[in-house]
Amino acid sequence: MKRTLLAAPILLLVSTHAARAEDKTPLEKAMTELAYHAYYNPGFAKSDARTKQDMKDIKPPKQCFDAVAGAADDVKIYTSQAFYWKTAQKDDTGSYITGADAKQFCKDYEKAYVRMSAESAITNTYLSKDTVARPVEGMYESEASQVGVLGDTCAKAVDAALAYGFPATEQIESKFYDMPAIALGDAKAKICQPAIDWAKQRVDAINAGAKAKQDAIIAVYKKVGIKGKRLDLFVSYGMPADAGFYAAGCEHFVETAEGLKKAKKLFVWLEGNDGYTIRKFTFSGDNYTVTEHSYDTQAGAYSGCH
């Protein structure tokens, strides 16, 4: 059996194992770093699917191909990780692999990376099921859109893996994330595309719900005759009971549309680490002006509520 790259250990392919002192050339250092967590073992082992964050820590195949570019097939590459290659040799200088070994390693590494990219994309999309199960109420548009992004990435990664040569029957699963096995060829229809479709529908539903709420708020203020800039202001703060406008003195809220319509002055009380800020709205018909003043003490803030 031809010896190929074992996929599973690549999960930990990070810079935690830097090239050792005996790895002197850039090519030697690259092979040491890439091989350390990518054991050269028989068969193409199935790895437990990983997340998007895991993949960010895995070095892309380009780093390997760039390292071996121009290297002669018979060049000796001394590396402290040579024992991972069955084809490794040894001379008076130390253990080494050849340029041909390194080039084959890069091809095997690329194959593992393509598969892992598909695993990652499918797993991340599968894990979005918790978001998909949530109700529309309380969900942000960005949350729903992200599920669609995952689905799109999933579809592209599956296409890339199939185009690379992986069979449609290739099984992808994750016992760690409780994702049951699914054939690579079925992943787009069963995981990727449903996420894309759900995201579009959910974004539409969120926007429709937001518009309905906005229309309801507008109707409350319009019902008592509020219009113009005054209407825009109150609508931006929400329903009267939730708007948070104080009457003069900042002791009592004005919580009705009628009360807000009659008000000549309204105040918003803001607190922070640097003290207090009083935002004052002065109305003239359906127009208003706004001023803000900051205070170091609460007593000072109350003095601004007049």
Q: Does the pLDDT of residue 112 top 80, yes or no?
A: yes
Helix (H) or strand (E) holding 62: helix 61-68
3-state secondary structure of 5: strand
Q: What is the pLDDT of residue 176?
A: 82
pTM over the 0.85 mark? no
Task: Return the minimum-mean-pLDDT range out of 33-47, 118-132, 290-304.
Answer: 33-47
The model's pLDDT over 74-86, given as tens digits with 9 standing for 90+, comes to: 999 999 889 889 9
pLDDT at 81: 87
Q: CA separation (Å) from 267 to 228, 229, 245, 258?
A: 19, 16, 6, 16
Per DSSP (E only), the strands in the chain are 3-5, 40-42, 76-78, 89-90, 95-98, 171-174, 179-183, 265-272, 275-284, 287-295
Give the pLDDT of residue 155.
98
pLDDT at 2: 34
How crowded is the C-beta side of 188, counted as CA atoms within 13 Å?
13
pLDDT tens-place string over residues 214-227 = 999 999 999 999 99
Confidence of residue 7 (pLDDT cuts 50, 70, 90): very low
pLDDT, the chain, mean: 88
- Name the CA dihedral angle for 172, 174, 180, 184, rounded to a multiple of 10 degrees: -10
**When comparing pLDDT for 11 and 179, which is higher?**
179
Q: Average of pLDDT values for 238-260?
A: 97
Gap between the Cα atoms of 288 and 237, Å rounded? 15
